[in-house]
A and B are shown apart, each in its own frame.
Chain A
Amino acid sequence: MRPFAYTRTASSSAAVATVTADRDAKFLAGGTNLIDLMKDTVEAPALLVDINALPFGDIVEHRTFVRIGALARMSDTADHPAVVRIAPAVAEALLASASPQLRNAATIGGNLMQRTRCAYFRDVATACNKREPGRGCAAIDGINRQHAVLGGSRDCICVHPSDMAVALLAVDAIVRTRGPRGERSIPIAAFHTLPGDTPQIETVLEHGELIVAVDIPISRLASTSTYVKVRDRASYEFALVSVGAALSVRDGKIADARLGLGGIAPKPWRALASERALIGVAPSAAAFERAAEIAVGGARGYGHNDFKIPLVKRLIVKSLASVAA
């Protein structure tokens, strides 16, 4: 780990101002991802601003939405009755993430900001455009079992590691931020960006912009949501593929649908075309299979990860069938 200075504050505006003023400063919340990457020298901030004292730790149920403070820990969020009731997919995704110890430290805001598990990104001895723009992507022709089949570019085929973010897609979550230019609300689907030719950019946040909360609107749709994850190990492992799904059925027809996919793209992937294809039709195996087929339209494997394409299709069908039931 490179040396750095440390400071802390209980004021969000002070935190934002301090980080905004210093290109080499970063916010420090749970630290589980940032400190790990600092040990690998993938991250080397000169200043860490500890934001754990900021008043963003609560989870509060309002009339039309539940607000999860950005500093709420993953474990507390997963166990919170309002979250379990309003957005079961989010609670399930959190419980399927990491380990109890990591969930006790890691925060909701930090979960959205966590960086890819791509082995080439994390190994400074290898080529990675995300870590060093222009150096090349060693994963495309390398060991790419974990990598993206959708949304990748010639410069990057990493996958986003968050389970929760995939579930948030299924419940229309909104990310609330405070930055150097004030506050804003960003729909979760618009929060993360695709690599294109700038894989070093992963979200729409500006430097110094701080996540303060994640809001989940209360809806029947969200309350039906579920999260399903496939992995090699039975626990404590990132997803091979995952699905966050929600479905509402009225008069025998699908009235609304949400489909988020994980483990297959550089960002939490919303299968919008599949959602559209589901609306208005009767829930059936055929309809789910068609939605799955549409979801992987344009998908491309790189060798080791080819299996993810049939795998995610099957998981989509399974999870839609389970939410429809």
Chain B
Amino acid sequence: MNLVGAPIDRVDGRRKITGTARYAAETPLPGLTYAVMVESTIPAGTIAAVDAAAATRASGVIAVLTYENAPKVEQHKVAGMTDRNLPLLQDRIVRYDRQPVAVVVADTFERATDAASLVRIRYDTSVPALSLAHGSGYHPEHSHGDEPSVYERGNVDAAFAGADVKIDRTYTTPVEHHNPMEPHATVATWDGDVLTVYDATQGVFGTRSRLAVAFGIPPANVRVVCPFVGGGFGSKGSAWAHTVLAAMAARAVKRPVKLVLARPQMFGSVGYRPATIQRVTLGAKRDGTLVSTLHEVRSQTSIFDEFVEPSAELTKMLYAVPNVRTINTVVPLNAATPTFMRAPGESSGSFALESAMDELAYAVGLDPLEVRLRNHADSDPSKQLPFSSKSLRECYSVGAERFGWSRRVPRARSMRDGGLLVGMGVASATYPTNRSAASALVRLSSDGTAHVFAGTQDLGTGAYTVFSQVAAEELGIPVSSVRFELGDTNFPMGPVSGGSQTTASVGNAVSVAARSARDRAIGLALGDPQSSLHGHDADAIDVRDGRIFLRDRPDVGDTYAAILGRHPQGEIEERGDARPGDEKTAFSMHAFGAQFAEVRVDPELGTVRVVKMVGAFASGRILNAKTARSQYLGGMVWGLSMALHEITRTDARSGRIMNANLADYLVPVNKDVPSDFEAYIVPEDDPNVNPLGVKGIGEIGIVGAAAAIANAVYHATGTRVRDLPIQPEKLV
């Protein structure tokens, strides 16, 4: 059977289109109360006085929690990439604008919201650190994972000094906020010392351990549930303050509490992509081959935690360059702690590197695609390992052909469409293949169906669907006979849904669990005198449509339903555990892609519209071509958004974010995305990366997309915009 790879409709789709999918805030609990956070309005200082009298008096108000009366909890992180130090009303210090400073609980949402607006807080303000460009920074220990924040191979200074052609440019990217459509939400309820939390999260187990630490209770006492999450993009990858505060409030009022962030609060304490200032130097020969690359990244973090935007990681491995230096500097600011945002590092870093590569192409008079081909890395030059598979050349050629790259006239500002300038740009994309340990449980029942459980999440990625396909194929049953459940810490452990690792991690666990359930069922049949398969050899067996049969004599067989019907329990359960092996020591593992963009620019008004985008991506085996294409397309929309729209604007005097809503923080609407917008799946067979042969697909779609558009804008106008987003004032 070829269930895996089939472009089937989402198995959870029906619930989403009928409004019956239940997101965290939609958990009905008897006696539910509503909590609303009050946030600071200054970025630095201390709380001088709290006047909660009016709020406390307001009708329906049950509690007002501030640093003066909040129960003691642990606000410091323990360990782990996704764990954060959290402001949990434990002290009077204000470290950033929109920090939680109080929580109001009332019997209705309206009353809680109103009372929250009545809490008066007086601050003693201090001088905030707000400037990324001028603040003092430091080199963190690591840029990402175990990678050192200062890296060099060869001798960049000497190579650059001797280069025929030199590019030395600085690129900047702004603060961007994820803004998933579903605001972060938590419903918390206590039963004695046992806490149940319905949370909008990308990691039920990470949230569980954070809550356990905060309240000093065993993880086993915390259950986190999240069957549906309305987008995350990294912002729901960590447990943030509101989740702990909801649980704290529920404990304080001894009733279930619902806490949903208002849209402006989505710009508060749930992370963001930090602003970056990136200097890239390229030294090259006249033929366009690189001799050196320097990539210096300056990004912001908070004064109470560290997050490094790893923008230079891809620079280490994307091109075959003998001399490379990358440096990360972080500058602590009075701002919330940044976090992972769709392709953290690769998205911002590829804007800089792939813009610089475009500048190099013009400097040496070569087609930008040709410059990339001349610097193609056949093996990973940083790890000095072969790639587990790499199909970047195919991505370039498929993308160029589908896009019609040959239409491009090389000279900038040389193509027109009526009164509009026409431009075309290209960029490379890459994203590492990550994988973590994960487990899954398969229960085969006498009705012939399989019930599969895994403590993972579906952010809209298609996890429900592809894991159902994997289970169905391994078991030899139709997808419709699989019921897949996820998003619950009562299920076997899975990692955070981040780093495009869910399919590689959990998919392999589902595969192992399903296979062992199948094998066990086969074993039952072979050992069962009542089965027509009794005494046959397991190697001679095949399974299809829920029926186990002899490969050579398909008429001799038995069904799961019959086998399990005769089993005393009526069902069997098998658990599958999967973890990375030693492939990382033998191979460098990355997905690759190529992005092509065409723009129209009004030369007088400076308005840019993307009229065509083509992405071609090779990410190993594709489990569902329909949902994979959607993921790629979504990533490309994010790239378009990064190129033209997204910027969080902070008042330089007050440190206050001034566009904390979706009218002033722009993301694309339907009209911004052209109909000529396609992602192509480049077939790739990777026997080395993991047993399923899959690489991540959720993030690579954004990588390089902003650069491709910026390069197209340069091609159209002759104006190089090195500061995102590209808005009319930068072109008129």
Contacts and interface: CB of A to CB of B under 8 A. Distances in A.
- A touching B, CB within 8 angstroms: yes
A141 B644 CA distance: 25
Given A1-B110, A138-B651, 15 more contacts: A2-B117, A117-B663, A117-B664, A120-B658, A126-B651, A142-B654, A145-B649, A230-B728, A232-B644, A232-B728, A233-B668, A233-B669, A240-B728, A307-B606, A314-B605
Contacts of A315: 605
A233 B117 CA distance: 32
B719 interface: no
A286 interface: no
Interface string A283-325: 0000000000000000000000011001100110010000000
A132 interface: no
Contacts of A307: 606, 728-729, 732
Rank and list the top 4 A-B pairs by shortest CB-CB distance, nearest first: A125-B41, A307-B729, A234-B671, A235-B671
A39 B728 CA distance: 32
A205 interface: no
B669 A235 contact: yes
29 contacts: A1-B113, A39-B113, A117-B663, A119-B658, A119-B659, A123-B658, A125-B41, A126-B651, A141-B653, A142-B654, A143-B651, A143-B658, A145-B649, A230-B605, A232-B644, A233-B666, A233-B668, A233-B669, A234-B669, A236-B669, A237-B666, A238-B663, A307-B606, A307-B728, A307-B732, A310-B732, A311-B605, A311-B729, A314-B732
Given A1-B114, A126-B654, A126-B656, A234 B664 contact: no
Interface in B605-654: 605-607, 609, 644-645, 649, 651, 653-654
B656 A125 contact: yes
A314 B671 CA distance: 24
Most buried by A among B609, B656, B658: B658
Chain A's interface size range is 20 to 34
DSSP class of A's interface residues: helix, strand, loop or mixed?
loop
A314 B607 CA distance: 12
B147 interface: no
Given A142-B651, A310-B732, A237 B604 contact: no
B672 interface: yes
Chain B's interface size range is 20 to 34
A252 interface: no
A185 interface: no
Interface of B: 41, 110, 113-114, 117, 604-607, 609, 644-645, 649, 651, 653-654, 656, 658-659, 663-664, 666, 668-672, 727-729, 732
A236 B644 CA distance: 15
B664 A232 contact: no
B606 A311 contact: yes
Contacts, number: 81
Contacts of A142: 651, 653-654, 658
Interface in A132-187: 138, 141-143, 145-146
Most buried by B among A123, A141, A314: A123
Contacts of A306: 729
A138 B651 CA distance: 9
Nearest to A314: B604
Contacts of B113: 1, 39
A8 to B, nearest CB: 20
A203 interface: no
B386 to A, nearest CB: 45
Contacts of A13: none
A219 interface: no
Contacts of A310: 732
A9 interface: no
A11 interface: no
A237 B729 CA distance: 17
A104 interface: no
Given A240-B728, A311-B732, A314-B604, A234 B672 contact: yes
A95 to B, nearest CB: 12
B656 A123 contact: yes
Contacts of A235: 669-672
B123 to A, nearest CB: 11
